[in-house]
């Protein structure tokens, strides 16, 4: 009999947020293979307390090895124990627990690097809480790249839903710094990574990429800014010379309606909100955040900690469920051990 595949490694997220709520709900949705087996790297007491608060009958199974998760997943939610420093109050983040949040991510990475997990799925964190505790990275993506030792190119954040796939070229930086950050090299690297991983993980043999402009009307031929002429267009031209199917720069305000979305497989936007506003408008409850360009797979719900909903029973688990499903599908397509 073949051995069961390793589970997905699900991180703790901020324990005062909705991570525990949606983790419990995702496990409850496991019937008929709707959710692939996962193991939570976190504090089992936090999970048990949240289940009690929400009135959920969930048996929690502490495991010493992720491979035990598959055997018990049908009957219990498997947890690799990692204690928080201070008692958790839903909706009240505590920087004393930031260390456990960070350690959960580190341990999940170690699991997937050691082939004990198929992929990482990260629950939402509060960057503000982590910053106050001394966290030295802008966000999950950059921290994961550091843990992976990625040197060749910066990792790429892609938001994924049936309605739209979109990549923000720059992510967690002030808007005033975006133009100075854009370079042809960054654009070309992002296009190359996106095209490669769309083929590798999504089965698109020749993905069509559409690139936005930075300025209104894509610069209006230089009248509203020259970044399109001097930075973006040259990068697109080089990408085409390298065999990629890329169009643009397109005015961002006309790239995300239904007819336009039918002309490309993924859009590359110049900054965070240029990508995230249309995406969350279309797929707020079920969108998934995927990190491309890492030596392992990582997905995440495309929403935050929602502290005001923690422990209320109102948190929607659909984005986490979709993140688990997508991680499983990507690992399967890549052959588990890419």
Token representation of residue 132:
């106050």
- Residues of the chain with pLDDT > 90: what percent? 83
Q: How confident is the model over 95-133, as pLDDT tens digits?
A: 999 999 999 999 999 999 999 999 999 999 998 998 998
Residues of the chain with pLDDT under 70: 1-3, 32, 150-153, 336-338
Give residues with Cβ within 8 angstroms of 92, minimum separation 6.
16, 307
Residue range 1-150+297-338 forms a domain whose CATH class is: alpha beta
Please give the C-alpha separations between residue 92 and each of 1, 14, 235, 296, 309, in angstroms, as whole numbers: 47, 10, 45, 32, 11
pTM (2 d.p.): 0.91
Query: At 120, which helix (H) or strand (E)?
Result: strand 120-121
Angstrom distance (rounded) from CA 176 to CA 158: 22
Q: In CATH, what is the architecture of 153-293?
A: 3-Layer(aba) Sandwich (3.40)
Q: How confident is the model over 38-92, as pLDDT tens digits?
A: 999 999 999 999 999 999 999 999 999 998 898 899 999 999 999 999 999 999 9
- Say what angle helices 233-241 and 184-202 make with each other, to 10 degrees: 50
Looking at the DSSP assignment, which residues form a beta bridge with residue 298?
120, 291
Residue 1 pLDDT: 34
Residue 301 pLDDT: 95
SS3 of 93, please? Answer: coil
Q: Give the pairing type, strands 298-301 and 288-292.
A: antiparallel
Angstrom distance (rounded) from CA 169 to CA 314: 33
Residue 148 pLDDT: 84
Residue 137 pLDDT: 82
Please give the C-alpha separations between residue 75 and each of 7, 42, 118, 307, in angstroms, as whole numbers: 15, 19, 21, 29
The sheet that has 38-42: what strands, in order across it? 60-62, 77-81, 38-42, 8-11, 120-121, 298-301, 288-292, 156-160, 165-168, 266-269, 208-212, 245-250
Q: Within the chain, which residue ranges are assigned CATH 3.40.718.10?
A: 1-150+297-338, 153-293
Residue 336 pLDDT: 53
Please give the C-alpha separations between residue 124 and each of 29, 61, 242, 302, in angstroms, as whole numbers: 19, 23, 37, 8
Angstrom distance (rounded) from CA 108 to CA 8: 9
């Amino acid at each position: 009999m073949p051995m069961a595949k390793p589970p997905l490694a699900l991180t703790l997220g901020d324990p005062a947020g909705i991570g525990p709520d949606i983790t419990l709900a995702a496990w409850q949705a496991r019937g008929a293979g709707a959710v692939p087996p996962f193991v939570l790297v976190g504090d089992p007491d936090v999970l048990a307390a949240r289940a009690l608060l929400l009135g959920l009958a969930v048996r929690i199974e502490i495991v010493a090895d992720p491979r035990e998760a598959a055997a018990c997943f049908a009957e219990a939610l498997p947890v690799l124990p990692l204690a928080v420093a201070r008692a958790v109050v839903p909706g009240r983040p505590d920087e004393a627990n930031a260390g456990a949040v960070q350690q959960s991510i580190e341990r999940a990475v170690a699991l997937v690097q050691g082939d004990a997990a198929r992929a990482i799925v990260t629950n939402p964190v509060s960057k503000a809480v982590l910053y106050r505790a001394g966290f030295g990275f802008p966000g999950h993506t950059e921290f994961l790249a550091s843990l992976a030792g990625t040197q060749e190119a910066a990792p790429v954040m892609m938001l994924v839903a049936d309605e739209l796939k979109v990549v923000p070229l720059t992510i967690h930086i002030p808007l005033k710094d975006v133009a100075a950050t854009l370079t042809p090299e960054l654009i070309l690297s992002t296009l190359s990574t996106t095209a490669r991983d769309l083929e590798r993980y999504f089965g698109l043999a020749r993905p069509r990429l559409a690139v936005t402009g930075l300025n209104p009307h894509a610069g209006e031929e230089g009248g509203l800014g020259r970044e399109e002429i001097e930075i973006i267009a040259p990068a697109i031209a080089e990408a085409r010379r390298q065999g990629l199917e890329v169009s643009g720069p397109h005015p961002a305000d006309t790239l995300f309606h239904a007819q336009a979305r039918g002309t490309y497989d993924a859009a590359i936007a110049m900054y965070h909100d240029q990508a995230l506003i249309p995406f969350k408008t279309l797929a707020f409850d079920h969108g998934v955040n995927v990190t491309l360009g890492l030596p392992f797979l990582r997905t995440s719900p495309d929403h935050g900690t929602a502290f005001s909903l923690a422990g209320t029973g109102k948190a929607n688990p659909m984005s986490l469920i979709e993140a688990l499903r997508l991680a499983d599908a990507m690992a399967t397509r890549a052959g588990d051990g890419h």
